[in-house]
Amino acid sequence: MDTSKISLDPSMIAANDRWMALTTNLRRFSSQNAPMDDEYGNLDNAGETYVYDGMFQLEQGGEIVNPAIRYKTYGALNEGRDNVLFVCHALTGNASVHQWWQSFVDEFSQDYYVICANVLGGHYGSTGPMSMDPVTSEMYGMSFPDVTVRDTARIFLDMLQNEVGVTSIKGVVGGSFGGMQAIEMAILSNLESYGPEVRGLIPLSSNAYHSAWQIGISEVQRNCILTNFENNPDFCPTKNLHGLSLARQMAMITYRSRAGYQDKFARDVASNKNQWQVGSYLDYQGQKFLSRFNPTSYIKLTEQMDTHDIGRGRGGIDKVLNSLKVPTQIIGISSDVLYPPSEQQYLYDKMKGTNGDNVKIDIIESDAGHDGFLLEQTEVNALIDNHLKTYE
């Protein structure tokens, strides 16, 4: 069970022990109750740690003292230090790409130096709500400051430049929340000359801004977690696990498609005859999630996703996309209802005017829904490979 600790402080260890004890006794379901593929297996916080030196100033105000970023690498960095593929993970992912995208590591770590980092505010090793605040010597919890996608992208570029020492990045790749980070990294590098040069961009099932539809879904999930805690300033991250389970169940519906659910479950009932199979599956997913994530991190990361707007403070989205000339391969999934293909088409339409043949779009036909960017790995990897061969 990951605890996302970044220090050996006794109070932090005690908090993590309480979290582990609480989740150990949760009711488990057999894998027979999960007939639909899951996008993640067992995740951990393995990797190396980059510690930002000083006060990291946040876009919306506030700062974090010496924030830490957990990252993991695969393959070898070349002499020119420019064969880097940086992978940005989705909402509940981690830095260990092999645990959720093994085929990517197998295929690309032979020629490229693959790097992935846990997001700022994340659950798997980077500074976040379960970390110790060096100013108060207490766990951040709900007091963890507001972080934007742009903040996370910026500290990633800092890490690549100051910790890894890369001279430029062959490509940034990411799906969903990871796609938002990837786009921001490309903008910061190419339009604002921040950090090492990003030479290629591959956003999967992502968009230019978080829409009202997506914010609304996140808001209801957060409300599930915050039920009964509205007036409690001491909201504890290890409480209301039922709310986190409900949030995850709702998310799992939006991550898939109507056709996918119908094909897997139809109107079948579970073996105990007291529940629909689809209900048993969602119950299983909700309970399973409790063993690997905590409610406060979920709240803070979904809030971070809601900040996504590449046009903020830059003269608008159209201006940014029209100016971004980095070679780009946009990928979407036909049945995605959470980040529908129309949003990838929007990215393409706005970029192609000045980017020309440097920007391409492919929508993969699949009933897997939003999670198709993780589940349709063969097609996704082929598109990435073809794209990487089109530019130096």
Catalytic residues: 176, 336, 370
Host H or E run for residue 250: helix 241-255
Reduced DSSP (H G I as helix, E B as strand, rest coil) percent helix, strand, coil of the chain, to 5: 45, 15, 40
- Pick left, alpha or beta for residue 257 (phi over 0 → left; psi -120 to 50 → alpha; otherwise beta): beta
Q: Is 166 left (phi over 0), alpha (psi -120 to 50) or beta?
A: beta
Q: Which residue has the tokens 């801004």?
A: 209
Type of residue numbered 91: L
Torsion of CA 150, 153, 159, 164, to 10 degrees: -160
List the structure tokens of 297: 């991190």
- By CB atoms closer than 10 A (0-12, 13-18, 19+), residue 25 is exposed
- Tell me the H-state helices in 274-340: 277-290, 295-306, 317-323
CA distance 145 to 63: 7
